[in-house]
Amino acid sequence: MDMPIRTADEVDLDRLNSALGFLMRLAQLKIYERFFEEVGEHNLKPGEFSVLWVILHNPGIRQSVLGQRLMIKRAHMTKLIRALEDQNLVSRKIPDGDRRAVEITLTPEAVTRVEQASQWFFSYEASVGANLTAGERQQLTALLQKFVGLG
Amino acid sequence: MDMPIRTADEVDLDRLNSALGFLMRLAQLKIYERFFEEVGEHNLKPGEFSVLWVILHNPGIRQSVLGQRLMIKRAHMTKLIRALEDQNLVSRKIPDGDRRAVEITLTPEAVTRVEQASQWFFSYEASVGANLTAGERQQLTALLQKFVGLG
DNA sequence: TGGAGATTGTTTCTTTGTAAACAAATTTTG
DNA sequence: CAAAATTTGTTTACAAAGAAACAATCTCCA
C-alpha cells in the first residue's frame, strides 16, 4: 500500500514547470546559493551590496528613493541603513529642505570596500548562468529588464 | 550643500541593471505583489499552492523529495506541512519500508480546493508578463527553464 | 552481525522581511 | 491662513525562511 519512491527529478510538476513565478523563484534561490558560496571574505549580503553600490553611484540619495528603486520596504530599509551605519559604512544627513527625509552617503572607508567588492561581484555575476550560451544570457538579461521595466 | 533630489527612475544603477541576481529579485517581487493582489478568496500563499499542486500530481510523495524539487529546506517543509495538516488539507503516513520518511497525500477536500485554485492560478500566471509579447514570454520561460535545469 | 556513518524529519534559535500604528514634517485645499 | 491629508521615517509585533543540533531509522561494510 506504500507509494513507489520518486526521486526529485521524477516529480511530476505538470504545468507548474512553465509558471514564471515558480521558475523565477527557483532561479533566484540558485543565484543566492552561489552568491554565498563565493562571497568569501567580502562579508556582504546581496541586499547590502546593492544598497551600497547604489549609494556609491548616487551620493546623498534619500532612503525613500533608494527603497523605491530597489523594492525594499521602508521599515526594512531603516534596519538595513542602521546596520550599515553601525559598521561605519554610511552616514545620514537630514536635509534642510525637508526635515522628514534622510540623505545617505558612503564613508570613505566604504567607498574603498564597495569598489573592491564590486570587482568580485561583477565577475561572480558574469559566471552566473554559465549553463547558458552567451547569447542566451544576453537575451535573458534583456527580457528580464523589459519585464521589470528597466529596459 | 544639500544634494539634488532624485526620483526613483533617475537613480543611476550603473552595471547593476544588467546583474541577473538583481533583475531576478525585482522580477520575483513584482510577481509576488500581483499574486497577493489577485489571489482573493483562495487564501493561499505561493508556496502553499505549489506544494499542494505537486502533491496532487504526486500522491504519496515524500517530504524530502518534495523539498528537493521545490527547493524548500527540510526545517521549513516540516512547518509548511504541519500548517497544511492543521487546515486538514494533507495527511501524513509513515511508510513501512522506511520509518524515517513521511508520505504526503491530499485530503479529498484539498483535491477540490486545489483544482479550483489552479484554475485561478494558471490564468493569473498567464497574465504575468503582460508587458511582454507572447513570443518574448515564451522565450523567457524557456530560458528560465534551461537556467534552472528544468528544460 | 554490529557498529560507523548517512538519511529523514523535528525542534530551537536566529535572521530576514513585512504589516500596522505612530510621530514629525510637509503639502494641499477650503 | 488653518485644518486635513500626505509623505517620510521609525518602532513594535509578527511571519517566513534558514542553520544547527538532535533523535530515530536505515545502509553499508568490516
| Contact list, A140 vs chain B (CB under 8 Å) | 20, 140, 143-144, 147
Q: What does the pLDDT read at residue A139?
A: 98
Contact in structure between A90 and A106 (CB atoms under 8 Å): yes
Domain spans, chain B: 45-125
CA atoms of B41 and B36, how far apart (whole Å) = 11
DSSP-derived letter for residue A103 is E
In the CATH scheme, what is the code of domain B45-125? Answer: 1.10.10.10
Cβ atoms < 10 Å from Cβ of B109? 11
Give the mean model confidence (pLDDT) for residues B70-81. Answer: 97
Q: What is the pLDDT of residues B37-50, one digit of tens each?
A: 999 889 999 999 99
- Can you tell me which residue has its alpha carbon closest to the C1' of nucleotide D16? B76
CA atoms of A35 and A47, how far apart (whole Å) = 11
CA atoms of A137 and A119, how far apart (whole Å) = 20
Q: Which residue has the cell 494558471?
A: B122
Indicate the average pLDDT of chain A. 94
- Whether residues A148 and B26 touch (CB distance < 8 A) is answered with yes
Q: What is the pLDDT of residues A12-53, one digit of tens each?
A: 999 999 999 999 999 999 999 999 999 988 999 999 999 999
In the CATH scheme, what is the code of domain A19-126? Answer: 1.10.10.10
